[in-house]
Chains A and B, each alone.
Chain A
Amino acid sequence: MRIRGEAVALLGLAGAGLTFWLGMTWAPSVSIDAFKAPEAQRIFYWHVPSAWAAMLAFGMLFIGSIFWFFKRSEWAWRLHVASSEAGLATGLMCVWSGCIWGAAEWGVPWDWTDIRLNTFAMLTLLSLYLVLGRRSQPDGVETRDTFAAFGMYGFVLVPFTYIATRLWQIRHPGPVVATSEGSLNSDMGTVLLIGAISFTVLIIGHVMAGMRLTKLELRLEDLQTRYEEESR
C-alpha cells in the first residue's frame, strides 16, 4: 500500500490540534513568579514544536539544494520545493506565535537586537523568498541553480539560530529541555513531546505531498511541451 503525503499530513495536523488542546487545557500552569504573563506561556506548546518542524524543513531544504546543485538530482529539486513551502508554513506558525507570546510576556512583540529572533525570521523570509521567487520564474536550470544557491547559503543561519540563545542571550529564553539547569515538569514534557512528534509527522506529510505535487506539475509541463512540439 502506498502511503499518501496528504494522509500523513492530516495525521500530523490532528496531532498538532491535540497538542494545542492539551497545551491550553490540560498542561499545568507555570509559576506566576517565573513569568510576567503565565497564561500566555501556554503558547509554548505550539511555538516550540513549530520551531522544531521549521528547523527540520530548513534542514531538508539544505539537503535538497545541495543535491540539486552538485548532483542534479530531480528528487532533490522536488525536496527543495516542498521543504521551502513546509519551512514557510511552520516558520510563520513559530514567528506568529512568538510575537503573540512576546507581546504578552515582554510587552513588545519583537526585538530587533535579539539574534535568535532575527535569524529565525530570516530563515522564514528565505522560505517566502524561495516560494514566491520560484513562482515568478519559468522552470529551468538557471532558476533551480539560483534558488538552490540561496537555499544552501541560507542554511548558514540554522546553526546561528541554534546557538544564538547559548552565546548571546538577549531576550529570547534559552533551552528548556535536556539542559544542566533542570528540565520541564513531566506533564509539560509529555505535551511538548506529543507536539514535537505531531509536527514532525505533519512536516513529513507536507513534504511528501509537496514533492508529489511538484512531480505532477513538472510532468504536466513536459506534456504541454510535447503537445506543442507534436502539433507544430
Chain B
Amino acid sequence: MGIIELSKVTVRRGRSQVLDGWSVSIDSGEVVCLSGENGCGKSTVIETAAGLVSMEKGSSEISGQLIRDSEGRRGRTKFGLCLQDDCIMGDELVGERILDAAGCDFDVSSLLKTWGLEHRIHDRVAMLSGGQRRRVAILSGLVPAMVSSEPVAILLDEPDSGLDEDSVEKLAQTIRDLAAGGHAIIVASHNSKIVESADRVIEFPFTETKGDPVKGKFSLLERGVERKANIGHRLNLRTLSGLANNGIAGLLTLGAMLAMLNPEQLEGRTLTAFILAPALTAGLCGNSIHRLTLENRAYAWWNTISAIPPNALFHSLITCGAITVLASTVTGDFDVKLIAAGAVLGACTEAIVGLLSHATLRLSRPNAVMVRLLTPILILPWALVVDTLSV
C-alpha cells in the first residue's frame, strides 16, 4: 500500500465531474507529477488527497490513515501541503510559519538561508514579495518531510508558479532529495524541470509515462521539541483583531446606551440587559481570527492541521468579561455572576457566529453569503439569561 492512496475517487466540482472512479497510489521514495492543461483536474487530485474536497465515491488515505471518504469520515495525519494559493495569513511570521508546518522546533534559520529568506525570518508574510511568499508556502509544504526520518506524504500544487529559474531548480533538487529520504511526493506542474524530477508523469486525462530522474541525497534536519500551533491566540495578540473588532463593537454599544439611558435609574431586567448587552454585541461580531484565515485561503491549509478552526476563544472570554466589568462599573452594580455570564455568553456567541461562517467555506464566494442573517436567534439565549439573572 502506498503512502498516498486515492481509491476509486469520483469528484464533482461545480457542475462537472472532474474525476470518475480514479485511483492512484504513490509509494515511499516515489515522485509523481500531474501534468495537463488548465482545468483538467490536477488541483482537484491534490485537494482530494489532502481531504479538502468532498468526494462522491472513494477514499483518500495518507500513511495508512484515512483522510476523507465519500461517507464523510475524516481523519488527520502529518503531511506536507502547498496549494495553488499560498494559504498563508499576512500576519503570520516567516519563521513561525515554517515551525508550525514542521510541528516541532528546529534550526529554521539555516533552512531559510538556503532559500534566501533568512533575513526575513521575523517578518510578517504580508511584507514579502510574491515570490518570497511563494517560497515560504513551498517550504511549509516540504518541511514536514525534511524533519522526518519516517516516510511523509508531500502534496504540491503548481509550486513553481511565481518562482524564478534558480528557485525552480532548487525546488526540483529538493524534491529529489526528499524522495531519496523515502518520502512520497505528488506534484502538479507544467514546468519541465519539475516534470523531469518525477519518477512517473501522469498526463491528464490519464496517460502515464515513466521518468528517469537523477538520484538525490537526503539529509535530515534535527528535530527539537514538539510544538503546539495555537495560531489563533498568537495572531490575536499580534494583530489585536479581537479587540479591534469585537471589543470596539461592545464598547460602542455601551457608549450608545450611556448616551440614551441614565444607568442610575435602571433596575431589574433593564439593568441586567444593560450590563450584558455589550458582551452580546461583541460576540455577534464573530470570530475575528476566522476573518484573517480567509486571506489567501489560509483556512484550507489550517484545516489539514486541525479539525478545530483557528480561534482565540480564551481571549474572547477575557474581552467579553472585561466589557461586562466596565458596564457593571458604570452602573455601580458589580456582580461576579453577571460578569461570568457576560464573558461566557459573549465567547459562546462569537464561537457560534464563527462556526456558521466556517460552514460556508466550501462555497466559491464565502464572503458573499450573508451568514449574519442567521444570528438573530442568538438574542434568544441572551434574553433568557437576562430574564433568569434579573429575578
Contact = CB atoms under 8 A, between A and B. Distances in A.
Interface stretch (A5-13, A31-39, A136-144, A174-182): A136-144
A136 B15 contact: no
B364 interface: yes
Interface stretch (A56-64, A121-129, A202-210): A121-129
A145 B369 contact: no
A118 B379 contact: yes
A145 B12 CA distance: 11
A96 to B, nearest CB: 15
A72 interface: yes
B77 interface: no
B225 interface: no
A162 B49 CA distance: 44
Given A133-B369, A142-B14, A118 B377 contact: yes
A112 B369 contact: no
Interface string B353-369: 00000011011110011
B373 interface: yes
Contact of B373 (A129, A137, A142): A129
- Interface band, chain B: 20 to 34
Interface of chain A, main secondary structure = helix
Contacts of A145: 54, 362
A132 B373 contact: yes
A55 B378 CA distance: 21
A113 B273 CA distance: 12
Contacts, number: 81
B363 A137 contact: yes
Interface stretch (B109-117, B207-215, B380-388): B380-388
Interface string A129-167: 100110011111111011001100000000000000000
Interface in A189-224: 221
B13 interface: yes
Given A119-B377, A125-B376, A140 B15 contact: yes
Interface string B1-18: 000000000001111000
Interface in A89-124: 112-113, 115, 118-119, 121-122
A129 B370 contact: yes
Contacts of B380: 112-113, 115, 118-119
B368 A137 contact: yes
A132 B369 CA distance: 7
- With most chain B CB atoms within 10 A of its CB, the pick from A125, A126, A128, A145 is A125
Contacts of A112: 379-380, 382-383
Interface residues of A, number: 28
Contacts of A121: 376-377
A133 B370 contact: yes
Interface in B328-373: 359-360, 362-365, 368-371, 373
B105 interface: no
B90 to A, nearest CB: 25
B374 interface: yes
A126 B356 CA distance: 12
B369 A141 contact: no
A146 B360 contact: yes
Contact of B359 (A128, A132, A138, A146): A146
B295 interface: no
B17 to A, nearest CB: 9
A139 B15 contact: yes
Contacts of A149: 359
A115 B370 CA distance: 24
Contacts of A133: 360, 368-370
A136 B362 contact: no
A142 B13 CA distance: 7
A143 B374 contact: no
Contacts of A118: 376-377, 379-380
Given A129-B374, A143-B363, A72 B56 contact: yes
Most chain A CB within a 10 A radius of its CB, from B12, B359, B363, B384: B363
A128 B13 CA distance: 25
B364 A122 contact: no
Contacts of A115: 380
A122 B376 contact: yes
Contacts of B379: 112, 118
Given A140-B364, A143-B364, A146-B360, A113 B15 contact: no
A221 B16 CA distance: 13
Interface string B26-50: 0000000000000000000000000
13 contacts: A113-B384, A118-B376, A119-B380, A126-B373, A129-B374, A139-B14, A139-B15, A140-B15, A141-B13, A142-B362, A142-B363, A143-B364, A145-B54
Given A132-B373, A140-B14, A141-B13, 14 more contacts: A112-B382, A113-B383, A115-B380, A118-B376, A126-B374, A129-B371, A136-B365, A136-B369, A137-B363, A140-B13, A141-B12, A142-B362, A145-B54, A145-B362
